[in-house]
Chains A and B, each alone.
Chain A
Amino acid sequence: MPKTKSLIRFGAHIVILSASLFGTLLSSIATAAERPDFTGAWTTYRGNPGAAGGPSRFMGAELKLTPQAEKARQDFISITEGTNHGAGNSCVGGGMPGSMLGSGGYPMEIIQRPEQVFVIYEAHTEIRRFYIDDEAEDPDSFFPERNGYSTAHWEGDRLIVETTRLKTQVDSRYPHSNQASIREEYYIDEPLADGTRVLAADLIMTDPLWLEEPLVTTKRWQALSDYHVLTYECSEPIWLDEMEALYEEAGLEMVQE
């Protein structure tokens, strides 16, 4: 009899476990089905006026900078204002959050895989990678970069992206220290009247050293169809000028174009 009881108990456990596994499976299938595919080319949103977000709203001055940041910002302005000096002019990309908030005029392309989302901003071919769930590693094991290191996870139909390992940037429209962190929440928003897909991202940048208040904004893009996102070769002319000078100095003819 005790043997029978044990068998019944074991059987019950199996049923409960199977039901639980089946439930988890169903739930993960349902969750995966909820996840939108952001793949494609996107440009600046032109739906409701003022809803596009991005640099039209923030020109640096609207950021609540700490005195330390304000001093650094003013120093930079004092040596570059009215000149051709600028990161972009030196073929350096904007870095986060400028790369994301400024995208659209130059289109943005997204390639989505289950474990990783690639975002390619045409301007300066800035590439961001969102490492999803287990694909992400410890951000502190990577070098700081202008676009930082981004980990991501899904919450229903929204992709949550956390970016850290940023470099201190005074040359950005959105100046920040290397202690800044950025949270983005990507989702498919209401389509335009003609059915064009709209992608939105709520962004919050916090920075204990340089921002008195977080930068909070929403950026929107609309889908581009039949569209070529181009490569963005920028530094080649610098090398060509260098080559030309070397050839000239040597009295040789440069044949490379």
Chain B
Amino acid sequence: MKTFIKFTAVIATTLLFSVSLYAHHSAAQFDFGNNVLVEGKVMEVRFANPHLRLILEVTDDARGTRDIEFEGHSRNNMRRQGLMPDMFIEGDTVTIRIAPMRNGEDGGYVTALRIPSGEEIGRVSGAD
């Protein structure tokens, strides 16, 4: 696993500034200058092209408990970022870093996964 993370970190660095140039749709709704952490229970995950679909059950004081859908890179580029489906098992609690919605609504674009050691996997700087 460590080797894979190291390998993908190199590839991710190589691709860091280029993947954002191939957006499948306008990504203007995501605020990539304002990355925030979100913790939640994995309800559904689909590693797919053109985009990751991740639904987390999230609870906070402001809005209570609800399911929130997040978008992310294509599965090809998720892999290159070191992010794999077995890191998002349904029922597990995960912490993700996201570029939130500019309009303040729930949702956002997954930019990294924070693992229990505190390390973050993924360095997404824009939509692919």
A169 contacts which chain B residues (CB < 8 A)?
none
Contacts of B19 in A (CB 8 A): 105-106
Of the candidate stretches A23-31, A67-75, A111-119, A228-236, the one touching chain B is A228-236
- The answer to the question of A134 belonging to the interface, with a C-beta cut-off of 8 Å to chain B, is no
How would you classify the secondary structure of chain A's contact residues: helix, strand, loop or mixed? loop
Proximity bits, A195-230, B CB within 8 Å = 1, else 0: 000000000000000000000000000001001001
Chain B residues whose C-beta falls within 8 Å of the C-beta of A178 in the assembled complex: none
Query: Which of B15, B18, B20, B77 has the most chain A CB atoms closer than 10 A to its own CB?
Result: B18
Q: How far is the CB of B20 from chain A (nearest CB, A)?
A: 7
Task: Tell me which of B32-40, B44-52, B55-63 binds A.
Answer: B44-52
Please determine whether B50 and A88 come into contact, CB atoms closer than 8 angstroms.
yes
Q: Could you tell me if B21 and A55 are in contact, using CB atoms closer than 8 angstroms?
A: yes
Q: A88-B50, A105-B128, A237-B46 are in contact. Are A83 and B18 (CB under 8 A)?
A: no
Q: Does B66 contact A (CB under 8 A)?
A: no
Q: How far is the CA of A19 from the CA of B104 in the complex (A)?
A: 79
In the complex, the answer to whether A43 meets B46 with C-beta atoms within 8 Å is no
B6, CB-defined interface residue at 8 Å = no
Q: How many whole Å from A148's CB to the nearest CB in chain B?
A: 20
> CB of A102 within 8 A of chain B?
yes
A65-B25 Cα distance, complex, nearest whole Å: 22
Shortest beta-carbon distance from B101 to chain A in Å: 12
Taking the complex as formed, is A164 at the interface, i.e. its CB lies under 8 A from any CB of chain B? no
A43 and B15 contacting across the interface, CB-CB below 8 Å? yes
B18 to A43, Cβ gap below 8 A? Answer: yes
CA A89 to CA B53, docked complex, whole Å: 12
Asked whether, in the complex, the Cβ of A105 is within 8 Å of the Cβ of B50, the reply is no
Q: What is the chain A residue whose CB lies nearest that of B29?
A: A82
Q: Out of A54, A102, A104, A232, name the residue touching B49 (CB < 8 Å).
A: A232
Which A71-118 residues have a C-beta within 8 angstroms of B? 80-89, 91, 102, 104-106
Number of interface residues of B (CB under 8 A): 25
A residues 120-143 touching B (CB-CB < 8 Å):
122-124
Known contacts being A88-B50, A89-B51, is A44 close to B24, with CB within 8 Å? Answer: no
How far, in whole Å, are A84 and B21 apart by their CA atoms in the complex?
16
CA distance A138 to B20 in the complex (A): 38
CB of B26 within 8 Å of the partner chain: yes
Q: Are B49 and A233 in contact (CB under 8 A)?
A: yes
- A44, A85, A124, A227: the one contacting B25 at CB < 8 Å is A85
User: What separation, in Å, do the CA atoms of A217 and B74 have in the docked complex?
Assistant: 28
Query: Which residues of A lie under 8 Å from residue B17 when comparing CB positions?
Result: 44, 46
Cα distance, A232 to B25, chains bound together (Å): 17
**Across-interface contacts of B11 in A (CB, < 8 A):** 227
List B contacts of A102 (CB < 8 A): 21-22
A56 at the interface (CB under 8 A from B): yes
Residues in A with CB closer than 8 Å to B76 are: 106, 122, 230, 232
| Interface residues in chain B, defined as those with a beta carbon under 8 Å from any beta carbon in chain A | 11, 14-15, 17-26, 28-29, 46, 48-51, 74, 76-77, 79, 128
Known: A44-B18, A85-B25. 18 other contacts (CB 8 A): A43-B14, A44-B21, A54-B21, A55-B21, A82-B26, A82-B29, A86-B25, A88-B23, A89-B25, A105-B22, A122-B76, A123-B74, A124-B50, A224-B14, A227-B11, A230-B76, A232-B49, A233-B49
